Amino acid sequence: MNAEKAFKVYWGMHLHLTSPSYCVLTYGMNTKMAQSKFDALSEFQRHRFNWLGTKFTDAQSLVYACLGCHFDGINMQFGNREDILGAYYKFKSRRESLTYSLKSDVSKHEMLDFIPVNKLIFKYLVGYVSPEYVILLCNGTNELDTLYKSPNLIWAKSKILLLIKYVPFFNAEKFLPLIELNEHHVTAE
């Protein structure tokens, strides 16, 4: 992958994860804006994206790196390489062991006496439960949208938007059987 393609993946994912109206699945990554932004990069910035393209040789790996960095609050354009790699490996390992991670989240949730999603969101924000678990609990509802619009959670708006934007990259249907037995306990108050 060259620097230009790496930048376009980064730019598309960054817009997707931070903008309520942009959807990379609808508009794609190879847009006119991405090209003009790439053309305006300095040599130093192009070197960064050349490294990203060399390190993450396929689009899926770079998408995982983008998702991992966003969940860890790392700016890929300016963050150091070790942090970017760490966020990538952390995200990839969580995705690869998702069944185990979700079973762990279910048991944590049971210890909390099945608090509703509007309170469980705080557990997600401090890293107690995975984002995938919150998405599973909200599957088929508009609870994440309601939480995103809540004036009480304005301080967490970007993290909730990240959850909303992550939904298309996570196959919730595959993992629903893990929580179906307990879904009557997780409705909002």
Residue pLDDT, tens place only, 2-40 = 888 989 989 989 989 998 988 888 887 777 788 888 888
Distance CA 126, CA 133 (A): 14
What pTM was computed for the model?
0.80
C-alpha–C-alpha distance, residues 86 and 135, integer Å:
23
CA 26 to chain CA centroid, Å, is 17
Alpha carbon distance 182, 128 (integer Å): 19
Phi and psi, residue 74, nearest 5°: -105, 130
Burial bucket for residue 96 (CB in 10 Å: 0-12, 13-18, 19+)? exposed
Q: Of 34-43, 68-77, 107-116, 176-185, give the lowest mean pLDDT range.
A: 176-185
State the pLDDT at residue 186.
42
What average pLDDT does this structure show over 92-107? 85
| DSSP assignment string, 102-156 | HHHHHHHHHHTT---HHHHHHHHHTTSS-HHHHHHHTTTSSHHHHHHH-GGGGGG
Which is it for the CA torsion 153, 95, 75, 33, positive or negative? Answer: negative
- Model confidence over 123-153: pLDDT tens digits? 888 788 889 888 888 887 888 888 899 898 8
Average pLDDT over every residue of 44-67: 90
Contact 10, 79 (CB under 8 A): no
